[in-house]
Amino acid sequence: MVIIKDKKGKDLFAISKKLHRFAMRVHKKINEDDQEFWCLFQGDTGTGKSLAAQRFGYVVDPTLCVNRVCFDVKEFVKAIIDAPKHSCVIADEGVSIFFSRASMTKEGRLVAELSAQIRQKNLLIIICVPEALSMDWLILNKLNLLVNVWESRDKDAKGITRTVKGNMSFYPNFPSKPLIKFLLRYLRLKRHNPSAKVRKVNAYFREKGNMIYPNSKPAIYPVGEKAYREKKESVLKKYLKGDKEKPLTALQKKQQRQRNEAWQLMKEQMSLNNRELSKMVNAPIRTVIEGLKSLEIQ
């Protein structure tokens, strides 16, 4: 095991030597190889994916702080702009950041503009979502690593069955073996037909999580648990207060209708399906589908 310490030299948490070596490879990519690195952590609520993502990000970038853990679009954009070179930014609520109603229609442009900053600064981007397939192809195509996080049950030294949170399986993309592509193909097939007999792709490696005991000490968050939870709670309160989006102006509605009509014309004249059209116009497929449907309603 490798003990990870804080800035003052105090022990924070421990990880396996294999995970530490992999994190150091990512560190080298963004610090020495002039590259960006996109990572997605997927797992159900309560499985420990946010904690796992923070710990992985902290091993790669020990300067990681709560200011670079984001819960909405504005926070994420600000974090990217303010982030030092070779640092880590976490989109803790990836779906709400990349698929909020406010950003849906301009997501392609937003991702393109942010990608230039991310590439220039050689950043590590970590996105946390319940399910990888909820993300658009614009994001999935950028991924260098997909981490599946889950909860399990196991027996402790006394033979008592305990809950284990934060189990991880790692699927990096290699030029000769794109594990993310293989895993996504498997997930899509199982979603379409849950009973299908399809063999799941083997992970590059796995990391066992932490066993949960009654009255055990709270898990240590690299960015500080109190600061992290306060920030998350403040975002939730903002939405509870009804942070409503501004309605479109007459000009914006007209431009949106003209764009949708142009998409419809392209689809008919070029005999494209919705996915082919979304790639051609560089827009999320959900945006394309909603735009075309709006023409049927009008």
267 & 183 share domain:
no
Same domain membership, residue 100 and residue 219: yes
pLDDT of residue 294: 85
Which range of residues forms the domain containing residue 255? 250-297
Whether residue 196 is contained in a domain is answered as yes
The reply to whether 150 falls in a domain is yes
Residues 128, 31 within the same domain: yes
pLDDT at 281: 84
Using an 8 Å Cβ cutoff, are 92 and 232 in contact?
Answer: yes
In a domain, 273, yes or no: yes
Task: Examine the pLDDT at 295 and tell me if it is beyond 70.
Answer: yes
In DSSP terms, which residues pair with 37 in a beta bridge? 124
Assess if residue 75 is contained within a domain.
Answer: yes
d(CA 283, CA 276) in angstroms, rounded, equals 10
Q: Does pLDDT of 44 surpass 60? A: yes
Same structural domain for residues 279 and 194? no
| Domain closes at, from 198, 216, 240 | 240
User: pTM for this structure?
Assistant: 0.77
What CA–CA distance (Å, rounded) separates 211 from 137? 35
Highest mean pLDDT among 72-76, 122-126, 140-144: 122-126
| 106 and 31 in a common domain | yes
Please tell me whether residues 68 and 166 are part of one structural domain.
yes
Residue 10 CA from chain centroid, whole number: 29
Q: For the residues 75-99, what does the mean pLDDT come to? A: 85
256 vs 39: which has the higher pLDDT: 39
Domain count, the chain: 2
What pLDDT is attached to residue 95? 56
pLDDT above 80: residue 159: yes
Q: What is the mean pLDDT of residues 98-126?
A: 72
**For residue 34, how many other CB atoms are within 10 A of its CB?**
10
Last residue of a domain, one of 192, 213, 240: 240
Task: Check whether 99 has a pLDDT greater than 60.
Answer: no
Which range, 173-187, 251-265, 266-280, is most confident? 173-187
SS3 246: coil
Task: Please check whether residues 229 and 286 belong to one and the same domain.
Answer: no
72 with 182, same domain: the answer is yes
| Average model confidence (pLDDT) across the chain | 87
The verdict on 184 and 277 lying in the same domain is no
Query: Percentage of the chain surpassing pLDDT 90?
Result: 47
**Confidence tier at 37 by pLDDT (50, 70, 90):** very high
Other residues' Cβ atoms within 10 Å of the Cβ of residue 150: 17
Query: Does the structure show a pLDDT above 50 at 157?
Result: yes
Q: Which two tokens stand for residue 40?
A: 């997605």
- Residue 245 located in a structural domain: no
Whether 9 and 130 map to the same domain: the answer is: yes
CATH (domain of 17): 3.40.50.300
With bands split at pLDDT 50, 70 and 90, how would you rate the model's confidence at 134?
A: confident
pLDDT at 87: 97
Model confidence at 100, pLDDT cuts 50, 70, 90, reads very low
